[in-house]
Structure 1
Amino acid sequence: MNQESPERHIRNSKGTIRLPIIVSITLVAGMLIGSTFFSGGKKLTDVAKGYAKFREVLMLVENNYVDSVNTEELVDYSITKMLEKLDPHTAYFNSEEATAARSQLESGFDGIGVEFNIYNDTVYVVTPLSGGPSEAAGILSGDRIMSVNKEPLSGPGVTNAQVYKLLRGKRGTKVEITIERVGLADKMDFAVVRDRIPTYSVDAAYMVDSEVGYIKVSRFSETTFDEFKTALKTLKADGLKKLILDLRGNPGGYMERATSMADEFISGDKLLVYTEGKDSRFDRKTRSHVDGNFEKGPVIVLVDEGSASASEILAGALQDHDRALIVGRRSYGKGLVQMPVKLSDGSELRLTISRYYTPSGRSIQKPYELGKGDDYSQDLSHRYESGELFNADSIKFDKTKEYKTDGGRIVYGGGGITPDVFVPRDTTLNSKYLVELYSKNIIREYALRYANENQKKLEKQTFDEYLNSFQISDAMLSELVKDATRAGIRLNEKELNHSKPVIQSQTKAIIGRYVWGRKQKGGLNNEVYRVLNPTDNVYQRAVLLFGKASELEEGNFSSLNTRK
């Protein structure tokens, strides 16, 4: 065994030589960004001192540490831990994470165009996306993807990230996919050419009856406003007079899409949102300025604890101007604005630069302490434990942050948008057995198989006929239970009967989507929502509240006891 002499000269690897150059370039770029975009911070000499110390430690570790190290991982870890000392929403994404995060908000991605599910270490095609290359190639719902470009894609350890990496890629490139299909003994090989796959954020848009329309928006991405305008125009042509806008579970996205949507409802020149930061160059005010497509007519907006950021901008503007009745539960409470800064290696820093405020002056940001992100992340658990998700009286208002809407109604800042009409979370039909069915995708997989086996028979009727007459039979339920038992879920008859209505409605909704939803244009999942909404307690309450929404629109605030 050869040993090195203690007096040896420490030699740098090529990577070590490049490291200070890369870090120095990054520092210079950071200084330029700082001098261009920021002011009023610490002197650059203080920043340089901190950088010099970090560089010194990093070089010592790289050159002298007893084991080999991954320098890039160390740097990423250091940045992440540093940012944990700031607010809960300033964040760092490595290049892969940044690309994936951006793809959720951009107009689409390049890939083969399938929605997939991983179940029992197998990748199942939920549905080929309408008009996409997989549909054109003949891939069907229920197909099992066994390998991609001869790389196995089944067995223990298969992950979503692995599937994304193999299926997504530059448009025009070919992907060799091996498929197993129910009813066929031999595997099938497909050559699929990747193409641009659009992403959608308006999940549903349909008429509930001759006057009431429903639109579900799942996030605020590049195309959200255009999708919304198209949906609204279609519904107006169908007789829309009253609207339910569902923002539940919407985590936000681009602020400009939310304010553009608010402008469709709010007339005249009115403030929609404003931001204030340490640097006045990040202060801005956004006002309504266009003739919107629904400035008259009662509006009900649904929110819950999953509605955040841009969702709260929209709900807050409509509430402050007395333009919509807000129904549901208190929203998430994210009122910090992040500026994405793309770094030299493709990674991204999302830096909090300001706070946003609703027209009445409310900051929606819920309280936090610097460096205590763990406590902050437990807020929703605390809401559950305190009973806030089930009882309006459990919501604690900060009386020092009392504001008024245009019509003089009292609203509160300091932690999300509090609804005008509270509706509790409905857990009455939950059970451990139901949770286990969800966790192993039993309902979804059974519905997929049933739809594939009975598609021709089901397609002989319209979706409306299916909606009104089709029932999940006891025989079907027994087959689903057998699937669950084979997957290791022990049958509990009492819990099965307790959760039976949920299991039946979920199964019916998914079958409807598989059979008729593929024909929908624009990414709409109307079939799912048309089955499930009538069983949703928040939706059920909302359709009965248009009397109050109309009073609100007419300015009749005295008789509008919206806090009950």
Structure 2
Amino acid sequence: MENMENGKERGKVSNSPFQVKLPLFIALALAVGVLIGATTFSPSTNNPQATAKSYLKYRDILSYIDRDYVDTVDIEELSDYAINKMLEKLDPHTSYIPADELAMARSYLEGDFEGIGVEFNIIKDTIYVISPLSGGPSEAAGILAGDKIIKVDGETVAGIGINNEGVFKRLRGPKGSKVKLDVQRKGSNKLLSFTINRNKIPTYSVDVSYMVDNHVGYIKVSRFSATTYEEFSKALTALRQKGMQQLILDLRGNPGGYMDHAIRMADEFIAGEKMIVYTDGKGEKYDSQTFARTKGDFENGPVIVLLDEGSASASEIVAGALQDNDRALIVGRRSFGKGLVQMPIPLNDGSELRLTISRYYTPSGRSIQKPYNGKPEEYQQDMLHRYENGEYFHPDSSLFVDSLKYKTAKGRAVYGGGGIMPDVFVPRDTMALTQYLSELYNNNIIREYTLNYYRDNRKALEKMTFDKFNKNFMVTDKMLQEVVQMANKAGVKYNGPEYGRSKELIRNNLKAFIARSVYGNKGFFPVLHEQDEEFQQALKHFNHAQRLAKGGA
């Protein structure tokens, strides 16, 4: 994307509800100590002569280049390139993380970070504050949604092509340190200056939990971080106290994370000592079997899990365990198919190798990992291939063959081939998700308009409860025309037929983002779900989920 990035200081990216988000932050790396200057070398026991020979050959070549090559070269950069090209021959998730990138790679899975506490969006080369995080230092200092950050510690950050990482470097910092922001606020002719004391900012992987009605609860988990299980357990308990009898667990777009949090989550639903997941590696060193072992908080009620092509790794472990144990109905589309286990190996220059050591298998024996032919470009374009093959709109018949057929605990047929196949397939919306709507999001028209609307009507909006807002607030045709006009000014060419197909979805999204500015995610998601076909389909299939919960098939 050329002019739009979104995140918090910690690096979460979520530009629109329709983007396939595949931040595979668990892709990992190789331990070749010689390349980083390690003093020890231990060849494998499988073929020690070949390993030692290759080691010496690489060392010699690198030494000759460094000493005799006609031009001066960056040996460290050359080594990093060689490592990455070598790893491509192994699998798509073994990877090497240089020392200067390691903190960023790890931060996605940490439970908190230290900074100023804002969610931001980069719109037209300018940092917009989406919202100050509740209870954070920016909120206390008076930063408001819609503020444009023009300078950080006197350095101009607008119009310089800044990206997410550039924002993180400037806004994050140790607790107690200070940063000065100069912001532009609507209605003010001059920049407003704020000095903010950085602090520890808690972040959440459970985006929202709420009661859909008197019986159905909903929990959305965006990743499996260091605090996910505790967040999930707290949300589940709160919903049960409100009378929840049925649950929708939304793992769409969840790229995974910590395996142990996924296992503990699955254990909340599975009674007895049934298998949750097992791994199989070279020999028996990295083989394991994991079983349910605790009394869960929701072992009997109907459960529906929402999955899509953005659900990966730990998400697939949860979904596969619940499906194979006939504990939940899976609704949506085939998940990503990331079923390789990585072990982080620290290297002596501060970089890290995360090496694939085994594969994940569901209790029925299905490998979660989708095929890899040694070509990373094709692997990365798998989502595009699924679209071109029509899999987003109807199940791929090539994945429903006897060679890929497995049985659940109660004998239901499930299928392998990579990823978790849903029990109830829901096609992507081919009508409302038009190119025109995509252009509105790519140019950030929807978000910019709603930020402006909230800023202009803030006092009236904040007087309303969410229930009153949801019942009475209407996005008028006049507001829709203002969006079209804003888009025209931004160079988005109007397309009448596509606008007509997307009109009600645009109306819904405008209301949802306005609600988010006022009420946070507890306002955003309930409105968004009114036009969410997968969510609406889930509500229609609780009879089937009920049969599974009672021991049927």
Query: Structure 2 length as normaliser, TM-score?
Result: 0.91
CA offsets 1:72-95 (integer angstroms, 9 cap, x no match)? 211211111111111111111112
- 2:177 corresponds, among 170, 173, 183, to 173
CA distance in 2, matches of 1:346, 1:129: 32
Does 2:32 align with 1:28? no
CA offsets 1:179-217 (integer angstroms, 9 cap, x no match)? 111111111121112211222111110001101001111
- 2:528 corresponds, among 529, 532, 538, to 532
CA distance in 1, matches of 2:407, 2:369: 18
SS in structure 2 at match of 1:344: coil
CA distance in 2, matches of 1:335, 1:441: 34
CA distance in 2, matches of 1:132, 1:223: 18
Question: How big is the shift at 1:40?
Answer: 4.6
SS in structure 2 at match of 1:482: helix
Q: Partner of 1:8 in structure 2? A: none
Does 2:510 align with 1:486? no
SS in structure 2 at match of 1:196: strand
8 Å contact kept, 1:390–1:425: yes
Does 2:192 align with 1:192? no
Q: Which fold has the larger relative contact order, with Cα–Cα distance below 8 Å and residues 6 or more apart in sequence?
A: 2
Q: Who wins on radius of gyration, i.e. which is larger? A: 1
Letter in 2 for 1:490: K
Question: How big is the shift at 1:23?
Answer: 4.6
Q: Partner of 1:12 in structure 2? A: none
The size of the alignment, in residue pairs, is 521
- 2:131 corresponds, among 127, 133, 148, to 127
For 1:156-555, what aligned pairs fall within 5 Å after superposition?
156-369=160-373, 371-392=374-395, 394=397, 396-517=399-520, 525-555=521-551
Structure 1 pair 532–23 and aligned structure 2 pair: CA distance change class (3 A): same
Structure 1 pair 550–502 and aligned structure 2 pair: CA distance change class (3 A): same
CA distance in 2, matches of 1:228, 1:276: 28
CA offsets 1:452-495 (integer angstroms, 9 cap, x no match)? 11011112211111111111112212222222122122223332
Letter in 2 for 1:486: K
8 Å contact kept, 2:36–2:347: no
8 Å contact kept, 2:365–2:406: yes
Question: How big is the shift at 1:25?
Answer: 7.3
**Unmatched 5+ residue regions in structure 1?**
1-21, 518-524, 558-564
Greater Cα shift, 278-287 or 65-74: 65-74
Q: Partner of 1:42 in structure 2? A: 47
Greater Cα shift, 423-432 or 51-60: 51-60
Question: How big is the shift at 1:273?
Answer: 0.6
CA distance in 2, matches of 1:345, 1:150: 33
Question: How big is the shift at 1:235?
Answer: 0.3
Query: Structure 1 length as normaliser, TM-score?
Result: 0.89
For 1:51-130, what aligned pairs fall within 5 Å after superposition?
51-130=55-134
SS in structure 2 at match of 1:213: strand
CA offsets 1:251-271 (integer angstroms, 9 cap, x no match)? 111111111001000011111
Question: How big is the shift at 1:526?
Answer: 2.1
Question: How big is the shift at 1:393?
Answer: 5.6
**Unmatched 5+ residue regions in structure 2?**
1-32
SS in structure 2 at match of 1:154: coil
Give identity over the alignment, percent.
Answer: 57
CA distance in 1, matches of 2:271, 2:39: 47
Q: Partner of 1:139 in structure 2? A: 143
Letter in 2 for 1:498: R
CA distance in 1, matches of 2:132, 2:371: 43
Structure 1 pair 235–29 and aligned structure 2 pair: CA distance change class (3 A): farther
Question: How big is the shift at 1:146?
Answer: 0.9
CA-based RMSD of the aligned residues comes to 1.7
Letter in 2 for 1:514: S
Question: How big is the shift at 1:55?
Answer: 2.5
Letter in 2 for 1:158: I
Letter in 2 for 1:157: G
Letter in 1 for 2:39: V
8 Å contact kept, 1:386–1:394: no
Letter in 2 for 1:139: I
SS in structure 2 at match of 1:534: helix
Letter in 2 for 1:264: E
8 Å contact kept, 1:398–1:414: no
SS in structure 2 at match of 1:197: strand
Letter in 1 for 2:356: T
Letter in 2 for 1:28: T
Structure 1 pair 302–25 and aligned structure 2 pair: CA distance change class (3 A): closer
CA offsets 1:291-334 (integer angstroms, 9 cap, x no match)? 10001111111111111111111011101111001111111111
Letter in 2 for 1:425: R
Structure 1 pair 41–505 and aligned structure 2 pair: CA distance change class (3 A): farther
8 Å contact kept, 1:274–1:284: yes
CA distance in 2, matches of 1:346, 1:473: 56
CA offsets 1:479-515 (integer angstroms, 9 cap, x no match)? 2222212212222333222211111111111110111
CA distance in 1, matches of 2:216, 2:83: 50
Structure 1 pair 144–29 and aligned structure 2 pair: CA distance change class (3 A): farther
CA distance in 1, matches of 2:350, 2:464: 51
CA distance in 2, matches of 1:258, 1:528: 26
8 Å contact kept, 1:398–1:413: no
SS in structure 1 at match of 2:39: helix
Letter in 2 for 1:341: I
CA distance in 2, matches of 1:374, 1:164: 28
8 Å contact kept, 1:331–1:416: yes
CA distance in 1, matches of 2:109, 2:201: 13
CA offsets 1:415-452 (integer angstroms, 9 cap, x no match)? 11111111111121122221111111110011011111
Q: Partner of 2:23 in structure 1? A: none
Structure 1 pair 25–144 and aligned structure 2 pair: CA distance change class (3 A): closer
Letter in 1 for 2:443: K
